[in-house]
């Protein structure tokens, strides 16, 4: 093999960057108007569907509210006990959150650096806070005062 640089294959190639493509054809006004009309129709349909979803959600919330109010009226003493329990558990919840926040403050760098430490933290606090939140929410809903309803059974 010779040491002549001209005998070696080139490391660079020539690339033609000039455009040979034909110009892009723009749609005429009639095509554009048709596209815009179709887009408007799709948006109107989406709005109708969103309104239906909202009405469905509102109906479910009203039904749930009515059911809870009926339960509270049927069990007034238990509703009062749930209210007191929710207040007491709220204090426990606050203390638990304080402990959790202190733990994060003390070991935040360790959790960033070590997946093991993060997993330990989640295992230690995650299930307890999730269950505590669920119980507290249930007691708060059952122990809340009755929501007056308008004629026809709909809540305020």
**Contact yes or no for 132/96 (Cβ under 8 A):** yes
> How would you class 132 by CB atoms within 10 Å of its CB: exposed for 0-12, middle for 13-18, buried for 19 or more?
middle
- Average confidence (pLDDT) per 10 residues, the chain, 156 residues: 61 66 67 92 97 97 94 94 95 94 91 90 92 94 75 46
Distance separating the N- and C-terminal Cα atoms of the chain? 93
pLDDT (0 to 100) of residue 31: 86
pLDDT (0 to 100) of residue 29: 78
Domain presence at residue 55: yes
pLDDT (0 to 100) of residue 16: 64
Q: Do both 109 and 65 map to the same domain?
A: no
Integer CA distances (angstroms), 7 to 11, 15, 77, in order: 12, 21, 100
Domain that holds residue 82: 76-146
What is the spatial distance between Cα 44 and Cα 38, in angstroms, rounded to a whole number?
10
**Contact yes or no for 111/117 (Cβ under 8 A):** yes
pLDDT (0 to 100) of residue 133: 94
The answer to pTM > 0.75 is no
Domain endpoint, select from 74, 96, 131: 74
């Amino acid at each position: 093999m010779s040491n002549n640089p001209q005998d070696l294959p080139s490391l660079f190639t020539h690339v033609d960057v000039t455009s040979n493509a034909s110009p892009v054809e723009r749609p005429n006004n009639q095509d554009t108007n048709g596209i815009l009309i179709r887009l408007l129709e799709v948006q109107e349909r989406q709005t109708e569907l969103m309104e239906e979803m909202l009405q469905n959600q509102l109906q479910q919330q009203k039904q749930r509210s009515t059911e809870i109010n009926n339960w509270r009226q049927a069990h007034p003493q238990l509703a009062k006990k749930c209210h007191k329990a929710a207040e007491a558990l709220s204090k426990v919840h606050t203390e638990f959150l304080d402990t959790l926040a202190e733990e994060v403050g003390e070991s935040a760098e360790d959790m960033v650096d070590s997946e093991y430490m993060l997993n330990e933290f989640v295992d230690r606090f995650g299930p307890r806070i999730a269950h505590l939140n669920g119980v507290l929410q249930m007691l708060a809903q059952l122990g809340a005062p009755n929501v007056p309803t308008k004629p026809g059974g709909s809540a305020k």
